[in-house]
Amino acid sequence: MLPIIYSDEFLEHKTGRYHPETPERLTAIANTLKKAVFAEKLAWLAPTPVAEKPSLMPLLVKAHTPAYIKKLWEIASTGGGYLDGDTPVSPRSYDVALLAVSAWLDGVDAVLGTANPAFVLARPPGHHAESDAGMGFCLFSNAAIAALYALEQPGINRVAVLDWDVHHGNGTQAIVETNPQIAYCSLHQYPCYPGTGKATERGFHNNVLNLPIPPGSDISVYQPLWETKVVPFLANFQADLLIVSAGYDANAEDPLASINLQPEDYALFTEYCLGLTRKIIFGLEGGYDFSTLSQSVLATIEQCLISEDI
């Protein structure tokens, strides 16, 4: 059984009628997974309530400044507003964002408990959230916090974060690049929002690999990069756990970028990851075309199940 960590509470982060990061993203994915031929192999798990996760707030403060956390809480508690022009906060956004962090931590627990993959189907996304500012639809840096949490678990000395979202995870990189126990690798369109992620950025411990990809690229560009750059970098780091910031906005149909991947390409990405380890947490980041988003998540999970059956 492959755990899917999900709650309808994630739908309560309201972004507005025309915002691309909408609750319907999760609804579309969940409906697709529940109709999949392998649906009986999925274990739907509710995230641990924040009040029952005492490690969450200390971890949050490791990744984000108290001033930013307070600011986000104040905006939500006074009826909502905006962190920037792209990043709305609704009355329940603070609580939902905390629950999303809890879900990612549950993903760590699930993977370490079974040595098999898990998928965190949560929102808001996180990889653009920096220590002192939310941005780019992101409130808390879910993947970075999950990596910090994993390092507190027995037997975990090194954690890798792989970010295949079409946008560079500036927040994740900024939070983890000073930590020699965490590696960060990102494949992303460049130029594109947020304008970070140059190939010359190597981290403080040679622990960052950024692979900027030109607009219009397809799998013929990605595949050689995986084989000659991504897999060797991750294999050399020898992480005890792999966290994937699984954004699906590099699909050709996605409205927010200009990369031409297809949903089945994510099965190949997943296969490369499984060739390194089965201890993988996949956590949702971007992806704004409901159909290709859903089919891409389906391809990711199906590849995990196929590899388990081999």
CA distances from 19 to 99, 137, 170, 225, 290 (A): 21, 9, 21, 32, 13
Question: Are residues 69 and 137 in contact, defined by beta-carbon separation less than 8 angstroms?
Answer: no
Chain length of the chain: 310
Cα–Cα separations (whole angstroms), residue 231 to 95, 181, 238: 37, 18, 11
128 has catalytic annotation: yes
Asked if 112 and 279 touch (Cβ cutoff 8 Å), the reply is yes
Candidates 13, 64, 127, 128; catalytic one: 128
CA separation for the pair 85, 29 (Å, rounded): 27
- What's the sign of the alpha-carbon dihedral 133, 29, 118, 5? positive
> How far is Cα 2 from Cα 191, in angstroms, rounded to an integer?
36
Q: Is the dihedral angle over the CA atoms 162, 238, 203, 62 positive or is it negative?
A: positive
Q: What residues are labeled active site?
A: 128
